[in-house]
A and B are shown apart, each in its own frame.
Chain A
Amino acid sequence: MRILSLGFTRGVIAQIIGSALGTALIVAIRAILGMPNNDLRDIEPAAVFGGFVGGIAFMLGVGSMDDWIKWMRGIATPEYHGPDPNKPRWQRYFDVDYDHKVIGVQYGVTSVLLFLLAGTFALIFRTELAAAGMQFLSPDLYNTLMGLHGIVMIAAILTGVGAMSNYLVPLMIGANDMAFPRLNAFAFWVNVPGALLVVSSLFLGGFDTGWTGYPPLSARAPLGMQMFFIGVYLVGLSSILGSLNIIVTVLKMRAPGMTMFRMPIFVWAAFATSLIGLTATQMIGLSFLMVLIQRVFGMGFFDPTKGGNVVLFQHLFWFYSHPAVYVFILPGLGIVSELLPVFARKPLFGYKWIAMSSLAIALVGFFVWAHHMFTAGMEEYLRVPFMYATLLVAVPTGVKFFSWVGTLWQGKIITPTPMLFTLGAIVVFLFGGLTGPPNGTVATDLHLHDTYWIVGHFHNTMFGGFVYPFFAAIYYWFPKITGKRMNETLGKLHFWLMTPSFWAVTWVQMFIGLRGMRRRIADYDPTQGFEPAQLLITIAAFLIALSVLIFLINLVRTMRSSERVTDNVWNSRSPEWQLPSPAPDHNYADRPFVVVGEPYDYGLPGSTYVAMQTGTASARAE
């Protein structure tokens, strides 16, 4: 049976069986000890144990730990596992495969699927919100869908970041793969049981806390809350391990001549991102684990009746979750820096400053977390240094914007679809960035916190910092990945439909937020006059969905077409474009390169960035 031979299928079956067995084991032990097993509250410890066992079972079932288990048994494994010649090529993407390009595509497809899922949740509750009064959702279901929208979008972004980093970094630095290919595969696959657990919360009572999971509310939420916690734990593990891989790869595996300041700029972005992902992510794991343990064992970290403190959770949680937003946007901003020179035919303005600005954002980003807590009840004076640090992040961010303008200025600009999304990313992220300082300033934040202004702000930063660059990257590197090029007309239609619709959503959100529209509410008072605005937002959201549908149609049509595109389509100086398309297995094994010049010397005739070592025509710019 073809389906059963897929790693993915084996993993899912293993997870189901593992969860059931794990749950049953604890239920049995409880029964033997005379403890009750009557309702969901009683079964919760068993279900939590089952959740973890199921996750581990998935990873064993899909085959992501096979080589390591062999090593533990003292058995050597080959360095590279090529595609199985007995299986059709497409099966690679459903199995454990160690090729970073395959893993990059796996991440990318997972990201798009999660994006569609989270978007669907949004469309459902946006429909409910279009008119005042509860039309078809219950408040509990609304809260769950809204919380799922948040966390599944975050998972979509993390896997999208994983797609871009894993596919591009080795190709850009001249490596044939990542430093730890097996770890790479593991880090991808662990997202699948994580996502399954998160979505399973929908069928186990849901959760009413939003993705931020604040106790005490999360300590008394239904069982779905625990599935959410375990699922996020696994997704976070992916982030940590993927970041570790990127850091080692970038530091240790660059081609000869590629000093740090001669890397493509996206590699700097991925590197800075990975510094955050490696370290800060532990804090969301810890904070969620502590709520989980409070629920299962009664340990009252965040229970004031047991000496606990609810504000502590927020400190631990936001210590990750603020730097996390820089994980979400730094790669996308790196894509912007990467693509502008190609389409303006000019050097990247201030390359070194842009590279350093990514590191600066990552560093300063660690010191601002409590700006999410200005009204939370922490020490009043403490809010001031966090305000200073928060506004400080604007400085390296501004360096990027000004450098992008400097790159465009006096260029020779063309605007195919990837460039449209790149330019769109800049403008949308600009809105996001400009609406940040009022939130970072404590006094104004007292009014803005927990309103639709915040919702508008972060949707702008997320779309500008991730969604648009991700689309730009897909349209741009599609020929490199598949040897086919996506349709320009549909691409432009996608952009020109998505962009004004998106602004209709977020500008209106910010406007009504200022006027009193709170966030995370299933219903609103019609006397506040928000109904027309809510209807408009809902319609615009559906238009965004339509534009995504156009993108998907483009994707499917392109994959089905037989037109091949094999050359340096965008006339880029970057090393991966000096390879044939689709990129060959083993990347540069047959044609390594040496770096002989600067990456972005467009406009300097005769300048070369990389010299391939096989005697074929050197790579150069026009």
Chain B
Amino acid sequence: MDHPRRILIVSSHPLFRDGLKSLLHKRDGARVEIVGTARNTDEAIAALKTHAPDLVIVDHDDTSINRDEFLARFIEDQQPMRVVLVSLKETGPVVVYDRRTMAGARIEDWLNDLEIPQPKNALNESRRGSMKHFIAVAILVVIVAVLVNAGLEALGLMPVQASAQAVPIDNLFGMHVKVIAFLFALIVVFMVYSLVVFRRKAGDTGDGAHFEGHTGLEIAWTILPLATVLYFSYLGAGALAETMRADPQAMEVKVIGTQWTWRFEYPEGNVSSNTLYLPKDKQVLLKLSSTDVIHSFWVPEFRVKQDALPGDNMVKDLRVTATKTGEYKVRCAELCGQLHATMESPVVVMEANEFAAWLDKEAKSIPTDPVERGRRWATQFGCAACHSVDGKAGIGPSWKGVYGREEELTTGQKVKVDDAYIKESIRTPAAKLVKGFTTPMPVLTLSDAQIADLIEYLKTLK
């Protein structure tokens, strides 16, 4: 040791000051030099500057000295100095703290100028205290997670389960809900607990515990969520495969979306319908397409959803196995323009034999003569409301003699009423309006075959 340690004693009690002074001289002799004493905080701070001691001993029990204020002002300056708080009432090792870093060292080591140990991770020091907090939080997390999950399940979140495809979807969603409940509890309980227990107390101007991180925790809360999401992705892939499981015996039904209605075409016997009839417990392969913009087929009780796209090679598959008889609704689930909100059709699930009977009846009721079929479509689609067959003008041109007639359009252009024009007028009603008629036709979902039949019928109206 090169020079005696210069010591400043701070206490308002003369007994403490003088007593400590003589004790230090007796015990440590030439190794220490008492450079001064101070009776209060201001004197002590001034003495720091005038005497520049190596060590300041502060009376721990002296309530007239504001320790926090002293310490706060003590660490303002950069000149090396240490402080120790000495108590006459409490026992324990004597530790001196460095002014700049607040690193601690035992006083014997400091006096003997040994290596000063690095400041310990504050986490260790407060570990015993924080254990009880962790236990309390863990219990609360479990309770809240269980309650939240139970509550959500009790609410009955999903609609009626009416398809085989709904089962893996609902199961997976239930698993998601459990994880949601747990993670919600985990974060929120920790936060609320902290807000209550670790709230700053009135008058406390100090800072919280200084720990900057914990690599072990970081790794844990990266690896565990990673494993969880990979697992859920794996489960998700499995559930998806189940919803797409193909039955080779599946019945194909064409689903055509048009602004703003659905049409369903059954392969047997040219049956076309605006209501989707489905047999129970038999897989149906829906072939989705659109005549104009993107629509989307969705029955909430069936769960699965698929967009219907325009374009010849853009037919999309959706497999549905209805498992509950009843009436449902299919509603378009992709914004498709003005009347998207009301683009809906009934869905009727019947027992398989009832369905077969219906399909049979529909197919048989269609006439074999195209002209008769054409007349049937004209009735079914309500053409007579605007088109007379006897020559009388109505909201639309009369059909008497219409086929092959030359008409003038509102643009002045002349056009012949042939197959192409009739088809175009049905598909895009506002494209070519005949002069004198201002109301465009509503959109009608006739299939190409039906339009051909209608043309045959029109040909007969001379």
A and B in contact, CB less than 8 Å: yes
Flag if A411 contacts B172 (CB, 8 Å). no
Contacting B at CB under 8 A, from A385-442, are: 387-388, 391-392, 394-395, 398-399, 401-402, 405-406, 408-415, 423, 426-427, 430-431, 434-435, 437-438, 441-442
Cross-interface CB contact of A345 among B179, B207, B334, cutoff 8 Å: B207
Q: How far is the CA of A602 from the CA of B200 in the complex (A)?
A: 14
Flag if A447 contacts B244 (CB, 8 Å). no
Residues of B within 8 A of A398 (CB): 221-222, 225
> Chain B 46-66, CB within 8 Å of chain A: the 1/0 string?
000000000000000000000
Q: How far is the CA of A398 from the CA of B229 in the complex (A)?
A: 11
Shortest beta-carbon distance, A488 to chain B, in Å?
16
Q: Tell whether B139 is near chain A: CB-to-CB under 8 Å.
A: no
Residues of B within 8 A of A409 (CB): 130, 133, 190, 194, 198
Q: Tell whether A584 is near chain B: CB-to-CB under 8 Å.
A: no
Shortest beta-carbon distance, A243 to chain B, in Å?
28
Known interface pairs A447-B304, A514-B159; A304-B210 also in contact (CB < 8 Å)? no
Flag if B173 contacts A410 (CB, 8 Å). no
Q: Tell whether A592 is near chain B: CB-to-CB under 8 Å.
A: no
Flag if A350 contacts B300 (CB, 8 Å). no
> Chain B 235-261, CB within 8 Å of chain A: the 1/0 string?
111011011100000000000000000
Q: Tell whether A518 is near chain B: CB-to-CB under 8 Å.
A: yes
Flag if A413 contacts B207 (CB, 8 Å). no
Flag if A441 contacts B172 (CB, 8 Å). yes
Q: Tell whether B365 is near chain A: CB-to-CB under 8 Å.
A: no
Shortest beta-carbon distance, A430 to chain B, in Å?
5
Binds A, one of B17-25, B95-103, B266-274: B95-103
Flag if A351 contacts B200 (CB, 8 Å). no
Q: Tell whether A377 is near chain B: CB-to-CB under 8 Å.
A: yes
Shortest beta-carbon distance, B141 to chain A, in Å?
11
Contacting B at CB under 8 A, from A527-545, are: none
Flag if A347 contacts B221 (CB, 8 Å). no
Flag if A443 contacts B239 (CB, 8 Å). yes
Shortest beta-carbon distance, A470 to chain B, in Å?
21
Main secondary structure of the interface of B (DSSP, over half): mixed
Known interface pairs A375-B296, A437-B179; A349-B213 also in contact (CB < 8 Å)? yes
> Chain A 502-535, CB within 8 Å of chain B: the 1/0 string?
0000000001001110101111110000000000
Flag if B191 contacts A514 (CB, 8 Å). no
Shortest beta-carbon distance, A154 to chain B, in Å?
17
Flag if A426 contacts B191 (CB, 8 Å). yes
Shortest beta-carbon distance, A363 to chain B, in Å?
15
Residues of B within 8 A of A511 (CB): 155, 157
> Chain A 595-606, CB within 8 Å of chain B: the 1/0 string?
000101111111
Q: Tell whether B393 is near chain A: CB-to-CB under 8 Å.
A: no
Flag if A304 contacts B311 (CB, 8 Å). yes
Residues of B within 8 A of A139 (CB): 338-341
Flag if B208 contacts A603 (CB, 8 Å). yes
Shortest beta-carbon distance, A348 to chain B, in Å?
8
Q: Tell whether B287 is near chain A: CB-to-CB under 8 Å.
A: no
Q: Tell whether A295 is near chain B: CB-to-CB under 8 Å.
A: no
Flag if A346 contacts B213 (CB, 8 Å). no
Cross-interface CB contact of A375 among B130, B206, B235, B307, cutoff 8 Å: B307
Residues of A within 8 A of B179 (CB): 437
Q: How far is the CA of A61 from the CA of B331 in the complex (A)?
A: 50
Flag if B195 contacts A523 (CB, 8 Å). no
Q: Tell whether A567 is near chain B: CB-to-CB under 8 Å.
A: no
Flag if A377 contacts B309 (CB, 8 Å). yes
Binds A, one of B181-189, B277-285, B367-375: B181-189
Q: Tell whether A209 is near chain B: CB-to-CB under 8 Å.
A: yes
Flag if B218 contacts A383 (CB, 8 Å). no
Known interface pairs A217-B294, A415-B195, A446-B304; A384-B188 also in contact (CB < 8 Å)? no
Residues of B within 8 A of A127 (CB): none
Residues of A within 8 A of B122 (CB): 603
Q: Tell whether B310 is near chain A: CB-to-CB under 8 Å.
A: yes
Q: Tell whether A216 is near chain B: CB-to-CB under 8 Å.
A: yes
Residues of A within 8 A of B71 (CB): 605
Contacting A at CB under 8 A, from B84-121, are: 99-102
Known interface pairs A412-B207, A442-B240, A622-B207; A208-B335 also in contact (CB < 8 Å)? yes
Flag if B204 contacts A143 (CB, 8 Å). no
Q: How far is the CA of A327 from the CA of B4 in the complex (A)?
A: 62
Residues of B within 8 A of A399 (CB): 218, 221-222
Q: How far is the CA of A105 from the CA of B230 in the complex (A)?
A: 44
Flag if B335 contacts A392 (CB, 8 Å). no
Q: Tell whether A25 is near chain B: CB-to-CB under 8 Å.
A: no
Flag if B213 contacts A353 (CB, 8 Å). yes
Q: Tell whether A311 is near chain B: CB-to-CB under 8 Å.
A: yes
Q: How far is the CA of A415 from the CA of B196 in the complex (A)?
A: 11
Flag if B294 contacts A437 (CB, 8 Å). no
Flag if A346 contacts B222 (CB, 8 Å). no
Known interface pairs A375-B305, A409-B194; A443-B169 also in contact (CB < 8 Å)? yes
Flag if B208 contacts A346 (CB, 8 Å). yes
Flag if A520 contacts B168 (CB, 8 Å). no
> Chain B 280-300, CB within 8 Å of chain A: the 1/0 string?
000000000000111010101
Cross-interface CB contact of A438 among B173, B198, B199, B310, cutoff 8 Å: B173
Cross-interface CB contact of A377 among B102, B184, B307, B335, cutoff 8 Å: B307
Flag if B159 contacts A411 (CB, 8 Å). no
Flag if A395 contacts B100 (CB, 8 Å). no
Shortest beta-carbon distance, B82 to chain A, in Å?
12
Contacting B at CB under 8 A, from A443-480, are: 443-444, 446-447, 449-451
Shortest beta-carbon distance, B253 to chain A, in Å?
18
Q: How far is the CA of A377 from the CA of B213 in the complex (A)?
A: 46
Contacting A at CB under 8 A, from B141-158, are: 155, 157-158
Q: Tell whether B180 is near chain A: CB-to-CB under 8 Å.
A: yes
Q: How far is the CA of A427 from the CA of B190 in the complex (A)?
A: 11
Q: Tell whether A140 is near chain B: CB-to-CB under 8 Å.
A: yes
Q: Tell whether B438 is near chain A: CB-to-CB under 8 Å.
A: no
Q: Tell whether A230 is near chain B: CB-to-CB under 8 Å.
A: no
Known interface pairs A217-B337, A353-B218, A392-B229; A450-B305 also in contact (CB < 8 Å)? yes
Residues of B within 8 A of A344 (CB): 194, 198, 208
Flag if A606 contacts B102 (CB, 8 Å). yes
Flag if B191 contacts A427 (CB, 8 Å). yes
Flag if B230 contacts A350 (CB, 8 Å). no
Known interface pairs A209-B335, A350-B213; A310-B222 also in contact (CB < 8 Å)? no
Flag if A410 contacts B209 (CB, 8 Å). yes
Known interface pairs A350-B213, A410-B198, A437-B179; A515-B208 also in contact (CB < 8 Å)? no
Q: How far is the CA of A217 from the CA of B290 in the complex (A)?
A: 12
Q: How far is the CA of A395 from the CA of B218 in the complex (A)?
A: 11
Q: Tell whether B413 is near chain A: CB-to-CB under 8 Å.
A: no
Flag if A450 contacts B334 (CB, 8 Å). yes
Q: Tell whether A293 is near chain B: CB-to-CB under 8 Å.
A: no
Flag if A411 contacts B194 (CB, 8 Å). yes
Flag if A518 contacts B102 (CB, 8 Å). no
Cross-interface CB contact of A430 among B187, B198, B304, cutoff 8 Å: B187
Residues of A within 8 A of B205 (CB): 622
Flag if A435 contacts B191 (CB, 8 Å). no
Residues of A within 8 A of B222 (CB): 395, 398-399
Q: Tell whether B306 is near chain A: CB-to-CB under 8 Å.
A: yes
Residues of B within 8 A of A387 (CB): 233, 236-237
Flag if A350 contacts B218 (CB, 8 Å). yes
Flag if B198 contacts A376 (CB, 8 Å). no
Assuming A346-B210, A346-B211, A525-B329, what are 6 further A-B pairs, CB within 8 angstroms? A346-B208, A350-B214, A377-B306, A434-B184, A516-B331, A598-B212
5 contacts between A and B (CB under 8 A): A348-B212, A375-B306, A380-B244, A384-B240, A450-B305
3 closest Cβ contacts across the A-B interface? Answer: A304-B311, A603-B210, A516-B300
Q: Which residues of A contact B (CB under 8 A)?
A: 139-140, 143, 208-210, 214-217, 220, 304-305, 309-311, 344-353, 375-377, 380, 383-384, 387-388, 391-392, 394-395, 398-399, 401-402, 405-406, 408-415, 423, 426-427, 430-431, 434-435, 437-438, 441-444, 446-447, 449-451, 511, 514-516, 518, 520-525, 598, 600-606, 621-622
